[in-house]
Chains A and B, each alone.
Chain A
Amino acid sequence: MSNGTFAVLGLYTDAQKIVDAANQIRPRKLGRLEAYTPYPVHGLDRAVGLPPSPLGKLVMGMGLLGTALALLFEWWTSAVDYPLITGGKALFSWQAFVPVMFEVTVLFATFTAGLAMLFAFNKLPFFGHPVLHSKAIKGITRDKLALSIESADATFDVEAARQALLDNGAESVEVVPVPAWDKPLSLVGLLRTIAAITAACIVAGAGLYGAEKMIPVVPPMLHMHNQPKLNAFRSSTFFADGRGMRPAVAGTVARGHLPPAFATPDEAGLMLANPLPLTQKSAERGRKVFNDHCAVCHGSVGDGVSMLSRAYGGKPANLLSNEMRGRSDGQIYGVIMLGKNAMPSYAPDLDESDRWAAVHYVRVLQRAQNAKDEDLR
Chain B
Amino acid sequence: MTPNDAPRSPLARNALLAMTVVGAAGTAAAYLSAGPARFWANWILWTLFLLTIGLGNLFLVALERLVGAHWSVPMRRVPERIASLVPLAIPMLIIAFFGVPVLFPWTFPEAAHNPILMQKTPWLNLPFFAIRLAACALVWLLFYSFFVRGSLRQDASKDAAFTIKARKLAPLFMVAFFFTVTIVAFDWISGLEPEWYSDMFGVYLFAGTFLSGIAAMALGVLGLIRRNRLPDVKPKHFYNLGTLGLAFTVFYAYIGFAQYMLIWYANLPEEVVWFKHRIEGPWYPVAMLLPIFHFALPFFLLVGAVGKKSPKVLRIAMLSLLFAHFVDLYWLIFPTLGAQPLFGWPELAMGCLFLGLGFLQIRRAMGRGADMPVGDPLLAKGLEWQL
Determine which of B260, B304, B386, B387 lies in contact with A95 in the assembled complex, contact meaning CB atoms within 8 Å. Answer: B260
Determine which of B260, B264, B305 lies in contact with A56 in the assembled complex, contact meaning CB atoms within 8 Å. Answer: B305
In the assembled complex, the Cα of A88 lies from the Cα of B257 at a distance in Å of 20
Residue of A nearest to B305 (CB): A56
Chain B residues, Cβ within 8 Å of A221: none
B157 contacts A by Cβ under 8 Å: no
A43 contacts B by Cβ under 8 Å: yes
In the assembled complex, the Cα of A95 lies from the Cα of B263 at a distance in Å of 11
Is B265 a contact of A87 with CB atoms below 8 Å? Answer: yes
Chain B residues, Cβ within 8 Å of A95: 260-261, 264-265
Is B386 a contact of A98 with CB atoms below 8 Å? Answer: no
Bitwise, B127-156 to A at CB < 8 A (1) or not (0) is 000000000000000000000000000000
Chain B residues touching A, majority SS? helix
Chain B residues, Cβ within 8 Å of A98: 257, 261
B267 contacts A by Cβ under 8 Å: yes
Bitwise, B40-61 to A at CB < 8 A (1) or not (0) is 0000000000000000000000
In the assembled complex, the Cα of A29 lies from the Cα of B257 at a distance in Å of 53
CB within 8 Å for A87 and B305 given contacts A42-B387, A43-B386, A98-B257: no
In the assembled complex, the Cα of A60 lies from the Cα of B306 at a distance in Å of 14
In the assembled complex, the Cα of A88 lies from the Cα of B387 at a distance in Å of 52
Chain B residues, Cβ within 8 Å of A250: none
Bitwise, A39-64 to B at CB < 8 A (1) or not (0) is 00011000000001000110010000
Is B303 a contact of A60 with CB atoms below 8 Å? Answer: yes
A96 contacts B by Cβ under 8 Å: yes
Bitwise, B259-280 to A at CB < 8 A (1) or not (0) is 0110011010000000000000
In the assembled complex, the Cα of A60 lies from the Cα of B305 at a distance in Å of 12
Interface positions, chain B 2-20, Cβ under 8 Å from A, are none
CB within 8 Å for A87 and B267 given contacts A95-B260, A95-B261, A98-B257: yes
B contacts with A, residue count (CB < 8 A): 11
Chain A residues, Cβ within 8 Å of B265: 87, 89, 95-96
Bitwise, B281-308 to A at CB < 8 A (1) or not (0) is 0000000000000000000000111000
In the assembled complex, the Cα of A334 lies from the Cα of B102 at a distance in Å of 64
In the assembled complex, the Cα of A131 lies from the Cα of B181 at a distance in Å of 56
Bitwise, B234-276 to A at CB < 8 A (1) or not (0) is 0000000000000000000000010011001101000000000
Chain A residues, Cβ within 8 Å of B305: 52, 56
Q: Output the least CB separation between A22 and chain B (Å).
A: 15
Q: Output the least CB separation between B119 and chain A (Å).
A: 27
Chain A residues, Cβ within 8 Å of B387: 42
Chain B residues, Cβ within 8 Å of A88: 267
Q: Output the least CB separation between B259 and chain A (Å).
A: 12
Q: Output the least CB separation between B252 and chain A (Å).
A: 14
Residue of B nearest to A52 (CB): B305
In the assembled complex, the Cα of A87 lies from the Cα of B266 at a distance in Å of 9
Residue of B nearest to A93 (CB): B264
User: Across chains A and B, which 3 residue pairs bring their CB atoms closest together, nearest first?
Assistant: A42-B386, A95-B261, A95-B264
Show 23 A/B contacts (Cβ-Cβ < 8 Å), sorted by A. Answer: A42-B386, A42-B387, A43-B386, A52-B305, A56-B303, A56-B304, A56-B305, A57-B304, A60-B303, A60-B304, A87-B265, A87-B267, A88-B267, A89-B265, A95-B260, A95-B261, A95-B264, A95-B265, A96-B261, A96-B265, A98-B257, A98-B261, A99-B261
Q: 11 new A-B pairs (CB below 8 Å) besides A56-B304, A95-B260, A98-B261?
A: A42-B387, A43-B386, A52-B305, A57-B304, A60-B303, A87-B265, A87-B267, A95-B261, A95-B265, A96-B261, A99-B261
